[in-house]
Amino acid sequence: MNEARRKLVVGNWKMHGTHAANEALLEALKSAGPLPCDAAVCVPFPYLAQAAERLARSAIEWGAQDCSAHSQGAYTGEVSVGMLADFGCRYVIVGHSERRALHGESDQLVADKARAALASGVTPIVCVGETLAEREADDTEAVVKRQLSAVIHTLAHCTGEMIVAYEPVWAIGTGRTASPEQAQAVHALLRAQLRAATPQADRMRLLYGGSVKPDNAASLFAQPDIDGGLIGGASLKAADFLSICRASA
């Protein structure tokens, strides 16, 4: 483990939540006391204000799950990063596999969203990952390198300012998890690619996402190039999310 990289655990609520349920969850997170890692939750757009208000003056930061690549204009239904920043948003997830698969987001669109985020002072969490078919075809390396290359090319000298999350698509919401060794192998590959692009590569945080739970988090986070997690279902239960945060120690 690189002691210079403090672990980061980010909850991705996906399309879950109600005002009342969120109140209980956010209060439990806020009152948990000091954590051994940085922590954040990325919530649906309607609940950004609730998260901002409830997590104010707490150690838990917050973010959004997507953004537009455009700063403003006739883009009905879109949300710009400037709007997110107006709330004090710290992070935004871009390129999640569900966005790529369900909304047809290209590598270049993901890169443009990452650039828009940085331009507004919000840290993008850029997701990369292969499908089961791609892994079985031994294409994992080619896929994740292609996805990351588009972002590196677009961000150029700002590459070191993003966070990268490796999420094997076959492990998201399936209960299947990459073994620590499988996850580390891809993280090491991504770190090497980043080293060729930016002198900040060894300070960048690379997260793992894909059915992370309290019982497997510690073994994943112990890997030398895994600097935390992007947590889906387990982030909807305060006890599970906090257990994963504590596993970072």
Beta strands in 35-176 (DSSP E): 38-43, 60-64, 91-94, 123-128, 163-166
Smallest Cα–Cα separation from 92: which of 179, 163, 151? 163
Q: Copy the structure tokens of residue 25.
A: 């969850």
- Sequence-distant contacts of 29-33: CB under 8 A, at least 24 apart: 29/55, 29/58, 29/60, 29/238, 29/241, 29/242, 30/54, 30/55, 30/58, 30/60, 32/238, 32/242
Catalytic residue IDs: 96, 167
Containing 207, the helix (H) or strand (E) segment is: strand 206-208
Q: Copy the structure tokens of residue 141.
A: 């390396």
Q: How far is CA 212 from CA 56, 68, 161, 230, 240, in A?
A: 27, 28, 25, 8, 10
Report helix, strand or coil for 186.
helix
Q: Which residues pair with 230 in a beta bridge?
A: 10
